[in-house]
Structure 1
Amino acid sequence: MPTLLSRSARLVVATLLTKLVCGAAQGATALDCLPPIPPAPVTDAATRAEFRVEIGQEFTAYFDEAQAYLRCLDAARSEVSEEINRAIRDYQALGPEPDG
């Protein structure tokens, strides 16, 4: 029986499933945070006047995405801080360094 998905398609599916399963156990990292693309400046007055509403919506969406991006970075920073504190506690649990 032929496979329904190509090898590359199976790899993509496996990667997405792994991300979903592992992502629940792992916090955000800076690599999970994608900065938004800022709107292109519109310098032509006629275009600005004609598409004022659409341009405004694009900027509003950008500002919303920028806030989400900053929240993602804050979450990643918090997660790394917790990991660092956990590593410090583990290191301190090793006890005093031997004289040598």
Structure 2
Amino acid sequence: MGLLKQTCVAMVVLSWGSAAIAGSCLPPAPPWMPTDADDVQAYADLLKRDAEAYFADVENYFRCLDQQRREVFEQARVVSGDYARVLEFLNDMRK
């Protein structure tokens, strides 16, 4: 019975961790881009800075998602092993 309790505790802890991981990457807000030629000319420097900052933020966002994917994949691998042990334990109990 101890293994089953340990596995349940591990699954709860992992679910908390995955909930925390899932919310840590926030997509960047797109910058405002005017359609009026006068506005484009008036704000050209600001628009350029905003666009460059946006694309840098997009790169960081994709890196964050890639890191989350690796972390969740590893968690799934661990949980899969834990679940296999639970199934083995349950099969042994039935014998």
TM bucket by the smaller chain? 0.5 to 0.7
Residues 36 and 62, structure 1, Cα contact 8 Å, conserved in 2: yes
Q: Given the two structures, how large is their TM-score scaled by the length of structure 1? A: 0.64
CA distance in 2, matches of 1:30, 1:55: 31
The one-letter code of the counterpart of 1:70 is: F
Match of 2:69 in 1: 77
Report how far residue 49 of structure 1 moved.
1.1
1:66 corresponds to 2:58: yes
Report how far residue 47 of structure 1 moved.
1.2
Q: Identity across aligned pairs (percent)?
A: 33
Unaligned runs of 5+ in 1: 1-25
Match of 1:88 in 2: 80
Report how far residue 83 of structure 1 moved.
0.4
Which stretch of the first structure deviates more once superposed, 86-95 or 58-67?
86-95
Q: Given the two structures, how large is their TM-score scaled by the length of structure 2? A: 0.67
The one-letter code of the counterpart of 1:33 is: C
Report how far residue 92 of structure 1 moved.
1.9
Match of 2:25 in 1: 33
Structure with the higher helix share, 1 or 2: 2
Count of aligned positions: 75
CA distance in 1, matches of 2:37, 2:55: 23
Unaligned runs of 5+ in 2: 1-16
Report how far residue 90 of structure 1 moved.
1.3
Runs of 4+ with deviation above 4 angstroms: none
**RMSD between aligned residues:** 2.3
CA distance in 2, matches of 1:29, 1:59: 28
Residues 39 and 58, structure 1, Cα contact 8 Å, conserved in 2: yes
